[in-house]
Structures are given as C-alpha cells and as structure tokens.
Amino acid sequence: MKSPKELSLDRSLLDATSGSVRALAELLLADEEVAELQDYANAVAIRRLGFNDHGPVHMRKVALNALAMAGLLGKSGVSLSLERDEAGSREDSLEAILLAAFLHDIGMSIGRQNHEQTGALLAQPVIERLLATLHPGEIRRRVTIRSMALEGILGHMATQRIHSIEAGLVLVADGCDMERGRSRIPMLLSTEPRVGDIHQYSAASVQRVSIGPGERLPIRISVEMTESVGFFQVEEVLLQKVAASPAKGFIELVASVSGAEPKRYLG
C-alpha cells in the first residue's frame, strides 16, 4: 500500500506531465513490478545498509526535480540533446528523463556497489515493456528513449561519463533530494555512530531545496539549511554531481544557513 507521501507525489507527477509523458507516468505509477522494486530497494538501503531513502519517495522526487529543470530549460529556449541531435522529440526526452529518474535506484535492491549498473540491467526489460505498451510499432522511437533512459540510470552516480543534457538533469536531480526527510528513517532506526553518518547528519540540516528560474541562467538551485554541516552535503554531493553534468552551464547554485548571506557556487 502506498504511503500518503507517495500518493501526494503521484498527484504532483501527474500534474507536472501531459500527453505521452503523462501516459507513461500513469503506467509507471500503476506498475506492480516497479513498485516492488522500489520498495525492496529501500528496504535494502535503509534496514540492511543504513543508508538514506533510496525508495519510492526518493525516486518520485528525483523525477519531479528532473522534469522541473527540463521545463525551465524549455522556457529559456534550450533544446535537449535528442532535439539537438535530431534523434527524437522533446516529448521523447521527457519520457526518457521520467523513466531514468523513476527507476535510477532500483539497483539498490541488489546492493550499493555498482548499483547504477545493476539498476540498468533490472530496468531494461521494464522500460522495454512499458514503451511497447506506450509506442507499439515505433521501434526506432522505443530504442532511442530506452537508450537515453539507460544513460540516465548509469550516469546518476557520476561514476560514468555522460554526454546528454537529459542524463545530466537526472544526475543533478538526484543530488537535489537532500532535504532532512530523506535521512529521518535511518537516523531513527540507529543511534550508534558509524562510517557514513556525516551524510545523514548533513542531510538532516538541509531544510529546503528549491528549483526555479535563475537570475542569469535558466535554472537556479537554492539550498537552505539550519546548520553549517549542511554545506558538506552541498559541496560533496550536489556540487560534484552538477560539475559532472552536461547541464552544468545552465545552472546557478547557491546555499545558505538560516539568517546568513547565501554562498554562491555556480552562476
């Protein structure tokens, strides 16, 4: 059964999409295999490994973040890579972004190490099945969207170089999900200090991450935190992902502790 948070994010995802992208969102949200993969990935991540949320809520947030950034690029007249390459439409790009973001962490169902590679292996048949339903008889379109989606999954940890704006948006969108709610469950489950706790405590200090239009560039990411430990999350996670993203040139990044002047990293 879906949690109230998942249901709220489901509504937001449907509100944020239209046309074939909304149809794909409906397929993803109703798919039993996808739901079970996300749930089990989260059980492994939190209960077995002690990591932050890597489940259905996180993957929905990443999808919303990535689609929001794609929308801001569109409003600024920036074409995504499939359009630039004349290999597909903007709608194809958005479908690939949605698939990659919604499935990017299912490899955690096997384990943390190389989970982007195992995630791509697990996601491929799911993507093929969903796209066959959505675009029957359009093999070229399905191959293009599938390839782009798999690039997004493989690239979300910045361990493999990516070359498309679409995959770059998924990479940055993943880094943007670092608000305190993501670390709440593992911190409640364990009070014993352990290696990696800095990620949980730094995320716990992040109050809000906002994505909106920039002052000089299409996208502005603003991070607000209650304590300076949150700068670790910004500098060691989000900034590293932005730096590795082909979308870097379109992004402004600022961060601040409540009541202090914001620190500008990019833009």
pLDDT tens column, 213-246: 999 999 999 999 888 777 888 888 899 999 999 9
Question: What pLDDT, on the 0 to 100 scale, is given for residue 198?
Answer: 52
Asked whether residue 114 falls in the same domain as residue 46, the answer is: yes
User: How many domains does one find in the chain?
Assistant: 2
Question: What pLDDT, on the 0 to 100 scale, is given for residue 185?
Answer: 43
Asked whether residue 168 falls in the same domain as residue 52, the answer is: yes
Asked whether residue 152 falls in the same domain as residue 235, the answer is: no
Question: What pLDDT, on the 0 to 100 scale, is given for residue 204?
Answer: 74
> Which of 173, 205, 228 lies at the terminal end of a domain, its last residue?
173
The candidate with the shortest Cα–Cα distance to 196, out of 240, 238, 160, 232, is 232
Asked whether residue 62 falls in the same domain as residue 99, the answer is: yes
SS3 content of the chain, % helix, strand, coil (to 5): 60, 10, 30
Asked whether residue 167 falls in the same domain as residue 186, the answer is: no
Asked whether residue 167 falls in the same domain as residue 226, the answer is: no
Asked whether residue 100 falls in the same domain as residue 187, the answer is: no
Question: What pLDDT, on the 0 to 100 scale, is given for residue 190?
Answer: 46
The pLDDT tens digits for 197-219 are 555 556 677 888 999 999 999 99
What value does the mean pLDDT take over residues 81-89?
98
Asked whether residue 163 falls in the same domain as residue 214, the answer is: no
What value does the mean pLDDT take over residues 113-135?
97
CB 253 within 8 A of CB 238: yes
Maximum separation of any 2 CA atoms in the chain, in Å: 57
Range of the domain at 90: 4-173
Lowest mean pLDDT across 110-114, 151-155, 171-175, 238-242:
110-114
Question: What pLDDT, on the 0 to 100 scale, is given for residue 230?
Answer: 79
**Residue position matching structure tokens 């709220």:** 8
> Which of 138, 173, 208 lies at the terminal end of a domain, its last residue?
173
Asked whether residue 132 falls in the same domain as residue 191, the answer is: no
Percent of the chain with pLDDT over 90: 72
Asked whether residue 118 falls in the same domain as residue 243, the answer is: no
Band of pLDDT at residue 263, cut at 50, 70 and 90: confident
What value does the mean pLDDT take over residues 116-135?
98
Beta strand segments in the chain, E: 206-212, 219-225, 251-257, 263-266
- Cα dihedral value 18, 20, 24, 29, nearest 10: 30
Extract the tokens encoding 42.
């989260």
> Which of 133, 153, 173 lies at the terminal end of a domain, its last residue?
173
Asked whether residue 35 falls in the same domain as residue 147, the answer is: yes
Asked whether residue 146 falls in the same domain as residue 197, the answer is: no
How large is the C-alpha radius of gyration of the chain? Answer: 18
